[in-house]
Amino acid sequence: MSLKWFLPVLFFISQNAVAKEFIPSEAPPFSCKPQLNRFLSKIFKDSPAWQRVVDANSETKVFRASARTGEWHELRLSAKKTPLVVSLSSQKTVEHSWNIACQPRTKNLPALALFQKEGQAEPFTDENLHDILKSGKKGVFYIWSPNMTYSVTEFRRFRDVAKKRGLEFIPLLDHQASMASAAAASQKVGVDFTGRKLASVDLYMRNATLHFPTVFVFANGKIHERRIVGVMTSEGFDQALTEWLRELQ
């Protein structure tokens, strides 16, 4: 191979690597784009699967993406401000920003604390989530609250459909609910509640607590990007399981 031919190939590869896009396609015009793209390229191996979430205000679009189980990054973009990235895990929260000269700044914030021990309550952490996904099991996370009637009355419906299909059914209690109210609600509808409370930042960042119940389907080391919010018929849930489990293969 001649040097004359080799150098252009190196240049092409180098340019291609730099040009890889890590910023959401829906991003508004904003400053410091090259700096942000370079920063994100150090976090994500490939272009992130950004999720659009509720905007911070009329001028700022907000996106979220996960780099790995338990590690999420929230990106806030505005035409009038420099970018802001908030990196969250159960251990730490770090705010990354850029000044008007596009120089980076870092600020450490308190970690997102979801779990406070109450009686016999046991936390369901990102470590627990990682272990379940790594096991290759297929199943359902049922996030519920004794303060939301339908998440109590429909508990058995979701459980029975999942069990009928041979899936793991993992109920997780709203991290803000009391164990006493959870025990009383469980007794009324005749279900066995093991007492595990949501302490997973990963599931929280997937909007597990915006409404109850919220149901996630997992298989082959992955959680389906869609979730069930509220209640549905047994037939509807069974159909959703069929489609989502196929997509997770």
pLDDT score of 19: 61
* CA atoms in the 13 A half-sphere facing the CB of 91: 5
List Cβ neighbours of 249 (8 Å cut-off, separation of 6 or more). 219, 220
pLDDT score of 179: 87
Per-chain mean pLDDT for the chain: 90
Taking CA atoms, 55 is separated from 118, 153, 176, 249, in Å, by 34, 33, 24, 33
d(CA 21, CA 168): 37
CATH of domain 122-247: 3.40.30.10
pLDDT score of 212: 97
> Long-range contacts for 147-154 (Cβ within 8 Å, ≥24 apart)?
147/174, 147/177, 147/181, 147/212, 148/211, 148/212, 148/213, 150/212, 150/213, 150/230, 150/231, 151/212, 151/213, 152/185, 152/186, 152/188, 152/189, 153/189, 154/213, 154/231
Residue 110 has pLDDT above 90, yes or no: yes
d(CA 191, CA 176): 20
Residue 113 has pLDDT above 90, yes or no: no
**pLDDT-based confidence at residue 192 (cuts at 50, 70, 90):** confident
d(CA 17, CA 24): 17
pLDDT digits (tens, 9 = 90+) for 29-83: 999 999 999 999 999 999 999 999 998 889 999 999 999 999 999 999 999 999 9
Q: What value does the mean pLDDT take over residues 119-139? A: 93
**pLDDT-based confidence at residue 12 (cuts at 50, 70, 90):** very low
Report the candidate in 165, 163, 142 with the shortest Cα–Cα distance to residue 154.
142
Residue 150 has pLDDT above 80, yes or no: yes
Report the candidate in 151, 172, 176, 161 with the shortest Cα–Cα distance to residue 245.
161
Q: Kindly report whether the global pTM for this prediction surpasses the value 0.85.
A: yes
d(CA 109, CA 99): 19
